[in-house]
Amino acid sequence: MNKQEHLLLIDGMALLFRAFFATAVSGQFMVNSKGMPTNGVQGFMKHVLTAIEYMRPTHAAVCWDMGSQTFRNELFSDYKSNRQAPPVELQPQFDLAKEVAASFLLPNIGVRGYEADDCIGTIAKREHKERRVTILSGDKDLLQLLDHNIEVTLLQKGFGNYLTYTAESFADQFAITPKQFIDVKALMGDPSDGYPGVKGIGEKTAFKLVREFGTIEGILSNIEQLTPSQQKKMTEGVDMLQLSRQLAEIDCHVPLVWDIKEADWTGIERGAEVAVEELELKVVRRHVAQMKAAAAYAETADPFA
């Protein structure tokens, strides 16, 4: 294993949505001279560059959803059907965010029929035996991917504020393994993704049952040990429970073409600065200038002063 190598996998969808809505609520869409809203893209890149500056990865890549339809919609037609279309100000920023990321030589990865989470999981599980992997997102669903050499860093309020989990810290806090978290999600469901789990089983009970019986199969094979109310809920909801587990589990076998060399991070190239100027990304321009100034100072500073 190359202990010096560190791969940062960025959940592009989570960061872009988070950045957009942080300023959209007050109407700060930051429209450039071409009439293009840039608030989401600017916040997205500020999150990305702040993380790179803080974590200092040797490799970095961004993963994206590729359209709203995935294999999960084939399993369950109502999957994410409760989500509204993105605001009109956000829609053009999806392609713009990828364009700007590419100008920073960050690979944009996505496969039709799969979610960004699936691409992140596939790459993380391929790479973690050879190098350290950090997943950057705001989505707790990704905690199921925690493993040896895989950590998940969740964005907190503002920029540069993180909550990082390892497999060990997750187990210490929740008293289950990351893999068992899939069964917890299946039991309690996920309103934001539109699948119900077992009706009447909430988060607290889901954690309790998984801690006690280990797996969904363990719960069902010991169903007589549950309360009468829980037995009834589990019996009536067993079909949706099995389906919910399929929906909750991140697919780590996406057929994607991936070469770690394409994700080499060597710093900010001139092409990125040109793109930032052309698109009038003032927030990103300031951040890039600060990063370059900090790097220049670090090179000239006397370590023995």
Q: Which residue do the tokens 């705001």 mark? A: 138
What per-residue confidence (pLDDT) applies to 1? 58
What per-residue confidence (pLDDT) applies to 299? 79
What per-residue confidence (pLDDT) applies to 286? 95
Instruction: Check if the beta carbon of residue 30 is closer than 8 Å to that of residue 38.
Output: yes
Question: Residue 117's closest CA among 101, 139, 102, 132?
Answer: 139
Instruction: Check if the beta carbon of residue 247 is closer than 8 Å to that of residue 193.
Output: yes
What per-residue confidence (pLDDT) applies to 42? 96
What per-residue confidence (pLDDT) applies to 84? 86
What per-residue confidence (pLDDT) applies to 138? 95
Question: Residue 80's closest CA among 93, 89, 67?
Answer: 67
* Chain segment 43-59, per-residue pLDDT in tens: 999 999 999 999 999 99
* Chain segment 126-160, per-residue pLDDT in tens: 999 999 999 999 999 999 999 999 999 999 999 99
The residues of the chain scoring below 70 in pLDDT are 1-3, 301-305
